[in-house]
Every structure is written in C-alpha cells, then in structure tokens.
Structure 1
Amino acid sequence: MKVSASQKKNLLLEIGCEELPVSHQRCIREVYKSGPTLKNIAHGDVKVFTTPRRIIFFIENLDNKQDDVERQIFGPAKNVAFDAGGNPTKAAIGFARSLGIDAKNLKIEKRGNGDYACARVIEKGKDTYSYLCGYLKYFITQLTFPKSMRWNQSGMKFSRPIRWVLALYGDKVVKFNTSDLQSNKFTYGNKLVSTRKIEIEEADIEKYKEALKKAYVIVEHEERKKMIQKALIKLCKYPCEGAGRGSIAGQEFERVLIDEVADLVEYPHAIKGEFSPEYLHLPSELVMTCMMGHERFFPVVGQDGKLRPNFISIVNNPCLSKSVEDTIRQGNENVLSARLADAKFFYEQDKKEGLNTKLERLNDVIFQGGMGSLYDKIQRIEKLSLFIAEVLRLDEEMKKKIQRAAILSRIDTGNQVINEFPSLQGTMGKIYALEFGENGEVARAIEEQYLPRFELDMPGTIGAIIGIADKIDNICSFFAQGYVATGSEDPFGARRDAQGLIEVLMKVNDVSSVPIMDLVDKELSLITDKVTNKNAKDEIIIFLKQRIRTFFKTRSIEYDEADAVMEIALNKNLRTAVDRAKIIQEFRKRPDFEKFIIAFKRVVNILEQAKITVASCPPQRIWLGHDKLQVESELLQEKEEKKLYDIYLQVKDEVEDKVKNNNFKEAMEILLTNFGKPIDDFFDHVMVMTDDENLKENRLSLLCLIANLFFLIADFSKIVLSESLVEKK
C-alpha cells in the first residue's frame, strides 16, 4: 500500500559528546554518509553532519511502517516431510505448526541437489516508531572510530563520552537508553556562551539548524569552512590566501588547515594578532610552521608574497565582548611569541655548525638495525643516484649536482630545528645548504627528495632522482633484514615509500624511463654484505607487484590487464605499462579480440609444451638454446606456415617502430588485423611437433618470433577471456 506524504515523517538523531577529534568526525562523514541502515523502511535523502561536540543524522520522509516481506523457509527433506502417498508426516506438521500455517500449504522446492518442504510466509513489518526505539540504540553502539574509549559503568565504547542524545521521529521522541542516558528532545548550544537546554519540537532540519545557530553552533562543516575563508580575506584586507599566495604548496597547506580548523570549532570567529618583526628574519617556512603546524594559526602574507608580522587565529567563541576578544588575542600572541623564540634559538644554534660537522654527526645516527649508520645510507644514495643518472644519460654537470645533493641529503637530520619541528625535514636542509653557499638546484633537491606530499607537489629532476634512490634503499633495506610487511601496519614506511616511488615515476617526465628492477638489482649489489634474508629479492618483487597492482586498480585497470603488463612495469617503464593496459582495455571491446587472444595462447601453449623458455620483458627474446632465432625459409613446406612467416616479415619492422615510439594502439591494430586467422590456419594444417627435428625446430623458431612480436606490447597469455573473466576486487 502506498504511503501518503502526510504519513511520512523525518528522523533526527543527535549524539552529543565531549570534544571529537578531527579524524573521528571525518570518519563519521565518510563511512556513515548513508546514515543508519533502516531495515525495509523506505525513506528520502540522508544528511550527516558533525561538529566537535555532536554527530547528527537526518533522514527525510520515512514510511510509517516497515514493508511486509515474503520469506521462503525450508524444512525437512521431501522424503522425510511426506510419506509415499504424498501425505505430510509428523515432521512436516511440526514444521508447519512452528510457522503458524497448515501443513497442506507446504510446497516442494529444490535446494542444492535435493528437494525439501518449503513454506512461504509473510513477515509483517513493524511500525517505524517501534522499530526505531530498538534500532537506534543498537546503531549508536555500532558506530566505530579509529580509537574508542569507555567512561562509565555501562561499558559502552565510543569516540568520546556521550553527554546527551536527541532522537525525534516527526514530533515524537524515540525513546531508548544508551550509556545510562535517556533519549529526549533537547540539545545544547556552544558551551562557551550557552549552557541552557534547547528544545527541538520536531525533526525539521532547517528549524534545528536555525535553533543551534542562535546558540552559536554551525551544524554544517562546509558552512564553517566558508565562514573561515571569508574571515581570512576580510582581516587580510586584500584577496590573498594567507600562506598560499603564489605557492601551490602553500595553498594546499592552507586548504588542509582550513578543513581541519573547521572541525575544531562550532562557531568560527577570526582574531588577528601580531608578533615581533624580528622573527621575520627567520626562514619563512620556519615561521609558518610555528603558526600553522603547532598553533593552527594562519600567516598573513602581503601582496608582495612576503610574510607580515601578523597572524589570524580561529576560535570557537563568538566573542560577544571586545574584552573577551582582547584576552584571547593576547594569549595567542604570548603562545606564538614563545614558539618563535624557541625556533630562533634552535635555528641560530644549528647555523653555528659547518656542513662537515653536520655530515660527521650522521656516523653516530643508526639508520636501521644491520644496515649501518645514516652516513652509510647517504653513500648508498649517492651511488644509486649516479647509477640513475647513467641510465638517463645525463651530462657530467648534472651528475655533479646529483652527487652533491645526495651527499647533503641528510644534513638537517639531528639538527635542533628538526628535533623540534620534524615536518621541516628537507626544507631546513635546503635552507642550510643555501646558507653555506650551495648551488640552488642542489639545495632545492634536498627538499624535493621528500615529494610528493600531494597530487601537484612533484619534485624536479635532481630531487626526483635523490628521492627514488632513498625510497629504493629504504625498501631493499627493509626486506634485506628479514622484515615482513603484514596487515595494515607500515612501521618502516615501506608501503609509503613504494607509493611515492610509483607516483614519481608516473608523474616526473625526466625519470619515468628508469626500470624499477634495475634499481633493485643495483641497490642489492650495494648492500650484499648486509643482507641477512636470502629471499630478499623475491620478497621485494612480490611486494612491488602488490603495490603496482594497487596503483593499477586506482586507474581502473583489471587484474588480468595488470598481469599482462606487470613485467614491463617492473623491468622497463611503469608509465608505458599503464598506457599498454589502457590500450588492451580499449581493444578487448572489439569482437575480434577474443579470437586474437585465443590464437596467441595457442602459440604460447605449444612453446611451453616444447619446454622453451619465454622471456617476458622487453626487449623480448625467446631462446631455443642458440644465440639467434632464425627461420630457414627453405624448410617451410606448408602454405600456411609460409604465409604466417611472410606476414611476420611484412609487419615486424613496423610493429617494432610503433612500439619504440610508444604508439601501442597502432602496433596493436597491426597485430590484431594480421595474425588471428593465419595463426589458426597454421595450427589447423601444420604439425609443429613433427618427428623431423629440423622441421620442428624451424616451426618452433617461427612461433617464437611471433610470440616475441606480441610480447613487445604485453604478455597477452595473461588475459582472461570474457566467459571466464571474474571481477577481482
């Protein structure tokens, strides 16, 4: 029966609690964006909101009762439920009685390989209010967070102690008890200016928002963000973005900080403060870290892009009087001044050390158990970086810069500023290098080796090379010592390093052609005397394949397509592996693709039967036990093998040229157009495994050449045909 609009009601659930961490609020908004799962109750839109002191779920237009559900219930087997005459036995009668129906209404239905007595019963739905009274208590207890706590004798676990629960279905309180609290129709405003109860008459989201706004609570996260952005522009008196003006990194950090601060306040109010101009002589990155990283203050940047001796703080207080605002401003200024004074002291102490002293100190810093000191590590980074430079065929001047950047890559480690402000690792290294007169490119590379931090934050060539060497050294050292990457934990950062490696190889053009396995082999040769795990290389390969598959999945590449280009990704070029996989995706939509794959699989299968080793990474070579693959044309007897060889000779150079120029689509088109039917004709009319050894080897050589040509693009034998393709999540 259709429910009229007048019978539909809204649901409003507010869980009031102590201060919720930012990460817990984001968890609620992301994980529970669909709201409570209401069983068999039709409803309209769901809205989820969080503030530091409340979690809110609002659901529009719930039906007034659950839908009736027809259930199919199986009972005893047919031969147990009915006698030879088809009459119900005691077993069937008892089964029917348990369901409240007559045994004559039982049916026989197939289940698996047998027939069983079956009943179809209508499960009447509860009225929505009664259902909610039981369900909402359960729903609240099932909310999960990164970390939970217990706070009273009820034993309930939640992000922070629950202080009140508002639950309204229409204008009626949904009654239940949770954590020793009874649900009701009352909420509370901003605790700094409003302590009285606020009665909510009905589950109307707009009226609810308006009531809380009057009590200095802004329910929507996005609205709080907009208020912060407007306040920053207003107090700066010009249209800039604080630390972000003229800097992609600065803009991103400010965006992230605004997003975070919006979850720290219920009613954002901006206060502008100042600090002594003497601190502007410190590096701007250090000053901004004191503000943004520790105090969550916003720097003020002038139209010339330089810092001003001002900051803006966002407080959870409407500051209804000037004296309150002045008190807060003074407190913030005192706190920031203390932080800046510390930063100035640490920076000046660090500058007293020369570069050689900073490097010598690395001998006393252990990198990782069994892998030597941090100084040993930078020597490996230096050698691996120069190896990468050789692979990329860089000139001698660039190699000298790369070598110097590698040597100085950890000069800020152990410095007092870094001990106090770890997020400035690399940035302070750049600053110290410039202070001591190092080349600008070298200095920037010290900072950029840690990139990317976000999507557009990519390093230059030298920084990318140093970063790649560092990440490969970290990964190989991890497995060389027998550590295992298990579960979701990443204590040594191996997964993070692999992800960073993949992003740099994909997005930095100058280094995209570096083969990953060449790097692994070189690194393992540098740490031979330190490897305690004899299976290190195999485990590294498995680990990297897992990370590459995960990356491919983000690009909507199916698992078999990923397998088809995996060796290319590891041994040649990760970026072109993605391009090849996308081409395979495009071509597999064509009706002739399946025949093409079947034909190639026939080639590979017979080579495997002949126990011929197939090298599946470019440049392709399939060996027959001699140095060169050669087809003797005079040994070609059947017209089908002659035709296949002629086609090979006709297209070989063109396919190789297309692949060399990364024109995989046209190369694929040539293979698909020319080889499907000729390969089928070859197998239908030519005996490959003949008793004549010369003929057999000649025919195997021909198939090896064909396979070799296909392998230039991908290992198509890994492609799963459509009828057996199973989506792998």
Structure 2
Amino acid sequence: MSKTVLFELGVEELPARFIDDALEQLKVKTETWFREQRIPFGEVKGFATPRRLAVQISNVADKQPDIEEEAKGPAKKIALDENGEWTKAAIGFSKGQGKDVEDIYFKEVKGTEYVHVTKFIQGEATKELLQDFRSVFLSITFSKNMRWGSYDLRYARPIRWMVALFGEEIIPFTIENVTTDRITYGHRFLGDKASLRSAEIYEEVLNDEYVISNVTKRKNAIREQLLKLEEDKGWKLIIDEDLLMEVTHLVEYPTVFFGVYNEEFLDIPEEALITSMKEHQRYFPVRSQEGSLLPYFVGVRNGDDKHLDTVSRGNEKVLKARLKDAQFFYEEDQKGTIDQKMEKLSRMVYQVELGTLADKVKRIRAIAGKISEWLNLNDLEKQQAERAAEICKFDLVTQMVDEFTELQGVMGEKYARLFGEEEAVARAINEHYMPRQANGAVPSSTIGSIVSIADKLDTIVGSISIGIIPTGSQDPYGLRRQALGVLQTLQSQQWNIPVEKLIDLVHQFYRELNLPTRTEEEVHQDLHEFFKLRAAYLLREKGIDPDVVEATLTNGVQNFAATIEKARLLVDKRQDPTFKYIHEALGRVLNLAKKSDVMEAKPKYFENDSEVRLYEAFKLVHPEYVQAMQEDRPAQALEKLSELASPIHDFFEGTMVMAEDEKIRNNRLGLLSQIATDIKEFADLNAIEWKQQF
C-alpha cells in the first residue's frame, strides 16, 4: 500500500533570491534521500513561498522492499584447512553475515572457488525511516546564514513550524525545539493556521488560507493579471522576467494594482525612472503602444483586492519621494563641467596599491592610445578614443550614479551629450562597461571597444600584478568576467591584435610606472595562463572538443577571432576522412622533430631526390604560409601546409632519417624541424585524437 508524504518547513520571510535554489536543493535532496533509503516513491512536487519550503511525495511505499542478496567470502583454499574443516576465516565470514557455516556454499569466480552465503534482509517500515528526513532540511545551503536565540543552528531564517505527514500520520522529529505537527499557517494577515488531515490536501488547504504555494501557479497568476490590466488600459507593460520571478517570491497571494506619478518626472532619463521603479520598488513600468514611457506603474500586492485604492496611494507617495530624489540628482549633476567632476576622481581610491581612479583613467588613456595606433585609426578617431578614455569614469562622481550604481555608464552617456561631447565619445562611455554580465552585449562601436578593452586590461593586469588572482569560486573583482569581455570584444571587432601583445603592453606600462608588482616572470606567466584558460572556456562553450582546444591554444590565444576559426576548422578536418593522409604526414614530422634541436638544412648534404623535393616544396610553401598566418587566414595556412603531405610521405618512404652519418642525420632532422616549426605555429596536431574519427 502506498501513501503521500508531506514535509513543510515554515520560516520567517526568506529573501527572494534564496528561494529558487533552496527549492531545487530540497527536491533533488529529497529524491536522493528516498533512493538511498530504498523507499519506493513516485512524483516529487516542490512548493515555496517567502515563509515556507515544502515537498510532497506521492506513492510512497509502506516499507522498504525485502531483498535477498548473495555475499561473497574468502577463497575455498582459505575457508577450509588441510583436514577439510572450516577455518576461522570462514566462520568469521558467516557470522558477520548473520549466518552459520552450514549456510555456506561454493561458487567459481574467474576460475577460483569462493565461499558464498545468501542472506535475506527484511525491509524496514517507511514510517520509522522518515524520522531521519530532518537531515534533508538541515543539508540545504544558503549564501548567507544566521543564528537566532540561543540556538547553535545557522540557517537562512529562523524556523517557526514544521509539518511532516505520512498519509494521515505525523512523522515525529525535532529541529531546534521545533517539533513536527500537522499544523500549517496561511497568509500572515488574510489566513489562519490550518490542520492538515492528510498529506494529499496540502495545496488545497493553503489555497483556502490565501496562500498559492505552487511557484509556477503563483507566477502565472501574476502574469495573467498583468496582461489583463495591460489589455484593459491599452498599455504596454515592461514585464521583465527576472523581476516577475522576484515578485513571485515576495508574495503568497498576489493581486496586481496600478498607480500614477507626475508627468514632470518624465523629463528624467527613462533609465533612471525604470531603475527607480524596478530595482527599488519592484514595480513594472508602463509604456504606450508606441513605446514611450507613461506616468504609471504597476505593482503586486501580497493580499486580496480590498482597499486597492489605499494601497495605490501609499505606493504613489513612496515612488514620488524616490523620483523627487532622482529629479534633484539629475538637475544637480548638470551643474559645473565634466573636467570639474574629473578632478574629484583624484580623491577616490581605486585600489590602495594601484592608486586613485584618476590614476586608473591615466592608464586607460595610455592603453587606448596605443591600441588606436595599432588599429591605424584616423586622427579624428584617435582624438575620440583619447577623449572617451579620459572621461570614461566621470559619471562615478555624480549623485545619480551614487544612488543608482547600476546606471554607471548609462548616465555617463546621457550627461556627456548634455555637456556637448561628440556622439562617438558619449556612446563609448556607456559601452566601455560592456559586457555587463555573462553573455551580455559587447561594445558595437570601435571607440567603445577600445576603451572597454583598455579598462578591463588595466583592471586584470593591475590585480594580478599585486597578487589578486581568482581561485576556485572566489573572484571578488570579477576578473574572469572581464577577461571574457576582452576576448568577446576582440572576436566581435575581428581585430588582428594578438591577446598576448595587449597583455604585454599593459604589463609594460605597470613596470614603467614603478607600480608594486611581483616578479616580472611570475606576473607574465600568470597573465598569459589566465587569458589562455578564459579562451579555452569560450572555445568549449562554442562546442569545440577539449583536445582541439588544447591543440589550438598550444601557442597562446593570439588573434582570438582567428583562433576560433582555426579551432572550428580542425573540428571539421577531424570529420574529413581525406585529411587522414595529411595529418599522418604532418604528425610524423612533429614526432621526429622532437629528437633534435637542429633548425637548419643544407642542400649540399642531401643524398636522394625525395630530400630535395621536400626541401624545394617547403621553400615554396613557407612564404605563402607565413603570409596567411600573419593575415589571420587559417584555412589558407592549413591548405599550404597540406601541400607538403605528398613530399613528406615520399621523403619517409625513400629516406632513412636517423642515418649513421651525423651530418646527414642532423641535416634531415633540421629539414623536419623547420617544417615542424610552421606546423606547431598553426596547432599541435598530435594533441588531437584523430584516429577515433576515421
């Protein structure tokens, strides 16, 4: 016979950001626990509100299944003495299995006989086992915990009640003086406590007490109300999915309402208005059907639809105060000049060992200037890049950004236009923070990309120079994300600038400025390895196999856009049976070239035609190969190397490389080493598992 099991953990209000992860942990850990306990079960449903986490498990068996299993013991020659009597080993084995020696029988395993016994294990009652479920509740982890009262337990929030039911029976256990019962609690104001007659009626009982415990149903209820209001009013709501999920986790019984604010606030940049509503008040902004922002907002109440007018007025007052502040900040920030605001950066510490924000801006400007030279920008573009780099951080001293930190760059662009800066410069101030999150948009303009890369490289090189290196999950300065941003921007812009050249440029600036660094060799190695690991991550994200990633990055990241193209080319060649002939030739060259440091071949030491033909073929191919590599045309470069396949095979067929004569041997190895140098510059082809694909 099967029953439904319910576990509910009642707590004080959980932060919305904790709930999704905690509920997923609870569901996964519940399934794992039931399997480990050998308790047959059906579907596991999860429930969560700000005040509870719960799981409902259907079709749970009354007891564990009985099992009969065979236990293997010592070999027969150890189990019996020379007189055929049972040894202590056999007797001890049988007792350890709860059996007698009379229960022993022999079975052959791989040609050797071993003692065995068959034992029967009766399944335990599920009700008794379920008392240990408390360990699942205690195993849930949170990003931040607290202690309360005199208890030792650290948990996200204090535990106030627990429900544990096996069908209609209470499962008894206790956590920090809270004992399980059948009593749950409804909405804090609209509901009451309720007694659950059985585990099956959990969701229905809570519905009666103004709690929608199913997260998906609660989220859908909010969405449906938003869309209904949108249709009734002819509005276009800005329904951000992250905000919708957050609001879902802030309420137990949602009711949508709307409010209004003064049209004069529409003069504030809409990014500031939207941020005030979404980030600070959890409101959904409203647009017209044409897309312009309207002086309305939509909120979600944790309660029913009674007295909504009063709720709206209260929220309108709160929002008005927020927008008044934003309006004041916006007006104050427009006073003075950008240069006056820049002066304040010299009083803002960026990092104790790396100086002020003004010092950082100087470095960004110098790095951006050098990148501009490498890109052969015209004079106007160079001036724009220099100016954008010079003022890229000025909005950090504005009151608007101080209040709404997420608007850094956004307000910089707005203010730069108001202060008369060129459009390319204003746009770059915003773009230089891109990408703002993983897989976010990268800068689209040349000037924005230059300043973005310069800023991120300064942060990365500076941090690693003073020993701030991400380890494990610890990356407080977001260096990994910024390195990914550099690589993604380089890929997007298709710039022919090796990553290592950029790294070394910035590292050189730090040495020239005599900023505190570790030894030059340590920093150089850590920087190059750091970017190589980030490039490997991005290549794997693009579906490139690990062995191809290793082969492609053997000489570093180089021009990242070309490196991606090269990796994809090798993945395609791995699937191409006609490439096997070429790979075998190039691979043999790489293997033999390892046996010598000689890098020169002299025609006068050639003894047969195959040596001459290979040498002449290489002399023809090499300049075109080098040109293709310099111009970042990997497909053409590999095509040139492939032309050497036939001469290489002929060479190995007609030539003994390891000749007894040292001059002849070294000359042949020197020829192979020259070819191998070109091959290795392209990729370490021998790191790729070709044979599995042919």
Mark yes or no: TM-score above 0.5. yes
**Of residues 570, 575, 590 in structure 1, which corresponds to 2:557?**
570
Q: 1:83-122 maps to which residues of 2 (within 5 A)?
A: 83-85=81-83, 87-103=85-101, 105=104, 121-122=119-120
Please list every run of 5 or more consecutive structure 1 residues that lacks an aligned counterpart in the other structure.
1-6, 245-250, 613-623, 724-729
Native 8 Å contact 2:7 2:162 kept in 1? yes
Structure 2 gap ranges (5+): none
Q: 1:645 to 1:44 in 2, by over 3 A?
A: farther
Distance 1:688 1:293, change over 3 A: same
- Tell me how far apart the structure 2 counterparts of residues 653 and 169 of structure 1 sit (CA, whole Å): 79
Shift of the 123–444 alpha-carbon distance from structure 1 to 2, 3 Å rule, reads farther
What is the TM-score with the length of structure 2 in the denominator? 0.87
Corresponding residue of 1:4: none
Q: Is the 8 A contact 1:292 1:298 kept in 2?
A: yes
Q: What SS does the corresponding residue of 1:50 show, helix, strand or coil?
A: strand
Inter-partner Cα distance in structure 2 for 1:590 and 1:87 = 67
8 A Cα contact 1:189 1:198, kept in partner: no
Q: Given the alignment of the two structures, is residue 25 of structure 1 paired with residue 25 of structure 2, yes or no?
A: no
Is 1:504 the counterpart of 2:504 in the alignment? no
3-state SS of 1:44 partner: coil
Superposed displacement of residue 115, structure 1: 9.9
1:166 touches 1:185 (CA, 8 Å); kept in 2?
Answer: yes
1:178 aligned residue? 175
Q: Is the 8 A contact 1:225 1:259 kept in 2?
A: yes
Deviation at 1:121, TM superposition (A): 4.0
Q: Which amino acid aligns with 1:476?
A: V
Matched, 1:125 2:108: no
Q: Secondary structure at the match of 2:433?
A: coil
Aligned pair in 2 of structure 1 residues 79, 650: CA closer, same or farther (>3 Å)? farther
- Aligned position for 2:523: 536
Which residue in 1 is equivalent to 2:338? 355
User: Aligned ranges for residues 33-72 of structure 1 at < 5 Å?
Assistant: 33-36=27-30, 37=32, 38-39=34-35, 40-68=38-66
One-letter amino acid of the counterpart of residue 717, structure 1:
N
- Is 1:717 the equivalent of 2:657? no
Q: Secondary structure of the residue that 2:672 maps to in structure 1? A: helix
Is 1:163 aligned to residue 160 of structure 2?
A: yes
Matched, 1:228 2:225: no
> Deviation at 1:690?
3.9
The answer on whether the counterparts of 2:183 and 2:193 sit within 8 Å (CA) in structure 1 is no
Aligned length: 680
Could you say what secondary structure the match of 1:570 adopts? coil
Distance 2:555 2:531 in 1: 13
SS in 2 for 1:144: coil
What SS does structure 1 have at the residue aligned with 2:607? coil
In structure 2, what is the Cα distance between the partners aligned to 1:660 and 1:477? 30
CA distance in 2, matches of 1:226, 1:503: 36
Cα 1:282/1:137, change in 2 over 3 Å: same
- 2:6 equivalent among 7, 12, 16: 12
AA aligned to 1:584 is L
Query: How far has the Cα of 1:485 moved from its partner?
Result: 2.7
SS at match of 2:434: coil
Q: 1:296 aligned to 255, 264, 282, which one? A: 282
**Preserved contact between residue 596 and residue 666 of structure 2 (Cα < 8 Å):** no
SS at match of 1:413: helix
* 1:637-686 alpha-carbon deviations (Å, 9 max, x no partner): 345545655765787688778878877568768867973x8656644653
CA separation of 1:658 and 1:511: change in aligned 2, threshold 3 A = closer
What is the SS of the residue equivalent to 2:253? coil
**Residues 22 and 106 of structure 1, relative CA distance in 2, 3 Å threshold:** farther
Amino acid at match of 2:596: A
CA distance in 1, matches of 2:637, 2:192: 73
Q: CA deviation at 1:160?
A: 1.6
Is 2:431 aligned against 1:457? no
SS at match of 1:353: coil
Could you say if the C-alpha distance between residues 542 and 279 of structure 1 is closer, same or farther in structure 2, counting changes exceeding 3 Å? Answer: same
Q: 1:239 to 1:587 in 2, by over 3 A?
A: farther
Residue 453 of structure 1: how far off its partner (Å): 2.8
Q: Does 1:637 align with 2:635?
A: no
Cα distance in structure 1, aligned partners of 2:588 and 2:271: 62
Q: Do the aligned partners of 2:236 and 2:291 also contact (CA within 8 Å) in 1?
A: no
State the one-letter code of the partner of 1:219: S
Residue 561 of structure 1 is matched in structure 2 by 548
Superposition pairs for residues 673-712 of structure 1, below 5 Å? 675=645, 679=648, 682-683=651-652, 686-690=655-659, 692=661, 695-711=664-680
Supply the AA of the counterpart residue of 2:101: A
AA aligned opposite 1:191: R
Which whole-Å deviations, capped at 9, do the CAs of 1:331-358 have from their partners, x for residues lacking one? 2122212222222222222222211111
Which of 230, 236, 250 pairs up with 1:264? Answer: 250
CA contact (8 A) 2:596 2:670 kept: no
Q: How far, CA to CA, are the matches of 1:179 and 1:695 in structure 2?
A: 84
Within the alignment, does 1:550 sit opposite 2:537 as a pair?
A: yes
Q: Which residue of 2 aligns with 1:197?
A: 194
Partner secondary structure for residue 9 of structure 2 = strand
Q: Distance in 1 between matches of 2:558 and 2:362?
A: 25
Q: Note the C-alpha offset of 1:385.
A: 1.6
Structure 1 residue 272 displacement after superposition: 1.0
**Cα separation, 1, equivalents of 2:59 and 2:621:** 66
For normalisation by structure 1, the TM-score amounts to: 0.83
Identical positions, percent? 34
CA offsets 1:667-720 (integer angstroms, 9 cap, x no match): 768867973x86566446533344656534542343234324433542223335
Cα distance, 1:521 vs structure 2 = 0.9
Q: Please point out which of 136, 139, 157 is paired with 1:139.
A: 136
- 1:521 corresponds, among 489, 492, 504, to 504
Distance 1:457 1:198 in 2: 52
Aligned partner of 1:472: which letter?
Answer: L
Distance in structure 1 (CA, Å) of the matches to 2:376 and 2:117: 77
CA RMSD of aligned residues (A): 3.5
Q: Is the 8 A contact 2:106 2:113 kept in 1?
A: no
Instruction: Report what 1:255 is aligned to.
Output: 241
What does 1:335-484 correspond to in 2, within 5 Å?
335-454=318-437, 455=439, 457-461=441-445, 462-484=447-469
Q: How many Å apart are 1:411 and its aligned residue? A: 0.7
Q: Distance in 1 between matches of 2:532 and 2:506?
A: 18
Alignment partner, residue 486 of structure 1: 471
Judged with a 3 Å threshold, the aligned counterparts in structure 2 of structure 1 residues 681 and 46 are, in CA distance, closer, same or farther, namely: farther
SS at match of 1:58: strand
How far apart are the structure 2 equivalents of 1:173 and 1:689?
83
* Correspondence for 2:263: 277
Instruction: Output the CA distance in 2 between the equivalents of 1:17 and 1:294.
Output: 25
* Contact 2:253-2:304 within 8 A present in 1 as well: yes
Q: Secondary structure at the match of 1:151?
A: coil
Q: Secondary structure at the match of 1:361?
A: helix
Mean Cα displacement is larger for which, 158-167 or 585-594?
585-594
Distance in 2, Cα, partners of 1:370 & 1:711: 40
Aligned-partner SS, 1:19: coil
Q: Residues 552 and 79 from structure 1, CA distance in 2 versus in 1: closer, same or farther, beyond 3 angstroms?
A: farther
Instruction: Go from structure 1 to structure 2 and tell me whether the alpha carbon gap of 1:150 and 1:659 turns closer, same or farther (over 3 Å shift).
Output: same
Q: CA deviation at 1:475?
A: 0.5
SS for the counterpart of 2:355 is coil
SS at 1:387 equivalent = helix
**Residues 189 and 402 from structure 1, CA distance in 2 versus in 1: closer, same or farther, beyond 3 angstroms?**
same
Distance change in 2, residues 1:631/1:86 (3 Å): farther
For the residues of structure 1 that align with 2:150 and 2:113, how far apart are their CA atoms? 52
Distance apart, 1:216 and its partner CA: 2.3
**After the TM superposition, which of the residue ranges 144-153 and 260-269 deviates more from structure 2?**
144-153
Residues 304 and 641 of structure 1: is their aligned pair in 2 closer, same or farther, counting only changes over 3 Å?
same
Q: Tell whether the 8 Å contact from 1:46 to 1:57 is kept in structure 2 after alignment.
A: yes
Amino acid at match of 2:245: D
Q: 1:495 maps to what in 2?
A: 480
